[in-house]
Amino acid sequence: MGGCDGAKPGRNYYTGFVKKTPKDTVIFTLACGKFRFNDLDMGEIMGMPRIMDMGQCNDAYSAVQVVLALADALKCGVNDLPLTLILSWYEQKAVCILLTLLSLGIKNIYLGPTLPAFISPNILKTLVNRFHVKPITTPDKDLKAILGQTG
């Protein structure tokens, strides 16, 4: 879960999403959007906190390296990991994070609460088809989709 924070309505999606995540999931955070929820006590998994801070926008490269190392340790590709990226959208630094992820071929990115201004309907169609980019909906709907639950 990464990206920018802001006072715009709809930013409560991220706190709601984090609160609803299953107890056997880990939440990596990046950038200032984490200040919506990083004070929550989400418990631990095997002695490690469920919320792990990867730093600020400028640390996106380091966060990507952690995920690449995890994929390497598990002998799979990043897109084979049970990993979903959710970017809160607010300003230009989030553009850099998104473009970096896309350049690495990383898929299953959720964006919101508003889509970037440069994403026209045709660009969105390409991002959806090629990278499985999705606009956020609600924490409940998105978690069901991410966890492969129907109904």
Q: What is the CATH number of the domain that holds 79?
A: 3.40.50.2030
Torsional sign, CA 84, 137, 99, 59: negative
pLDDT at residue 3 in the model: 67
Helix residue ranges per DSSP H, the chain: 12-20, 60-73, 92-103, 121-131, 139-146
Q: Which residues contact 54 (CB under 8 A, 6 or more apart)?
A: 2, 28, 29, 30, 62, 63, 66
In-domain check, residue 151: no
Per residue in 113-149, pLDDT (tens digit) is 777 778 889 999 999 999 999 988 999 999 999 998 7
In-domain check, residue 95: yes
In-domain check, residue 36: yes
Q: Count the residues in the chain.
A: 151
Q: What six digits make up the tokens of 110?
A: 């959720």
Q: How many domains does the chain have?
A: 1
- Position 150 confidence tier, pLDDT thresholds 50, 70, 90: low
Check if the beta carbon of residue 33 is closer than 8 Å to that of residue 13: no
pLDDT at residue 98 in the model: 84
Instruction: For residue 36, give the nearest of 86, 79, 96 by alpha carbon.
Output: 86
Per residue in 42-78, pLDDT (tens digit) is 999 999 999 988 888 778 788 889 989 999 999 999 9
Q: What six digits make up the tokens of 112?
A: 């919101």
DSSP state at residue 57: G
In-domain check, residue 12: yes
Which residues constitute the domain of residue 99? 2-146
